[in-house]
Amino acid sequence: DSGVTQTPKHLITATGQRVTLRCSPRSGDLSVYWYQQSLDQGLQFLIQYYNGEERAKGNILERFSAQQFPDLHSELNLSSLELGDSALYFCASSVVPTGSGNTIYFGEGSWLTVV
Amino acid sequence: AQKVTQAQTEISVVEKEDVTLDCVYETRDTTYYLFWYKQPPSGELVFLIRRNSFDEQNEISGRYSWNFQKSTSSFNFTITASQVVDSAVYFCALRVTGGFKTIFGAGTRLFVKA
């Protein structure tokens, strides 16, 4: 158990819909990361937050957005869903984002299936 | 630009065999960190090891060992006496100093047959 909690674990939804994935970081971790793992793209970095502020952005679609709340939990919002958005979405956390040697710990992921 | 290459897409071994997973990375930075993660069939990602670029000592942890060679930009992972429970996808990853994202390789899927 990494200490990072993600909900829901599994989600099936229809195209065009909107979903929200939730992440609670490990206790004491201020930085949260979101990754998408799809069959054809491997593991892709989406976005990172540190203490409530966006810190870095990767290959995140405009239909997707995220935020980190004052209690440090984070949500990833996926809208206008397409079949290609079906993937495993990971949340990860670390103590701080810089001093890059900080290990990031991953949650168990949220399986999203768009039908 | 940074890049991580795991050339082995899939490896299949019989239990008790030793297996080495290759990882080659590219970066122009002199300070960076390398990681290995395991993804078992259940899907979660499990941290295995972190290595910084100034520490080239090989590391052994039980049946796992890692060989870091800066001269060849490689950070290979060996499982000794493999077991069925080692069946998983293994990811090698790179992060450079000041970088906010971790670059992952495509992963190597390891099948260990009984």
pLDDT, one tens digit per residue, over B60-106 is: 889 999 999 999 999 999 999 999 999 999 999 998 776 667 788 98
Distance CA B113, CA A51 (A): 45
Q: How many CB atoms lie within 10 A of CB B42?
A: 9
- Cβ of B82 under 8 Å from any chain A Cβ? no
Residue type, A32: V
pLDDT at B61: 87
Residue B86 DSSP symbol: G
Distance CA B92, CA A94 (A): 18
Three-class secondary structure assignment of B52-84? ECCCCCCEEECCEEEEEEHHHCEEEEEECCCCH
Q: How many CB atoms lie within 10 A of CB A9?
A: 11
Determine the longest span between alpha carbons in chain B, in angstroms. Answer: 44
Q: What angle do CA A85, A58, B43 make, to 5 degrees?
A: 50
**Which residues numbered 16-75 in B keep a CB inside 8 Å of some CB on A?**
32-33, 35, 37, 42-47, 50, 52
Confidence of residue A58 (pLDDT cuts 50, 70, 90): confident
Chain A residue set in contact with B, beta carbons under 8 Å: 2, 33, 42-43, 45, 48, 55-56, 58, 88, 90, 92, 97-98, 100-101, 103-109, 111
On the question of pLDDT at B109 being above 80, the answer is: yes
Among B10, B23, B39, B45, most A C-beta atoms within 10 A, so best to mutate, is: B45
Nearest beta carbon to residue B98 from set A43, A58, A100? A100
Residue type, B57: Q
Q: What percent of chain B has pLDDT over 70?
A: 96
C-beta atoms of B50 and A101 within 8 A: yes
Among B27, B30, B42, B44, most A C-beta atoms within 10 A, so best to mutate, is: B44
Nearest beta carbon to residue A100 from set B45, B91, B96? B96
pLDDT at B79: 97
On the question of pLDDT at A1 being above 60, the answer is: yes
Could you tell me the two tokens for A91? Answer: 């949340």
Residue type, B76: N
Q: What angle do CA A36, A40, A42 make, to 5 degrees?
A: 45
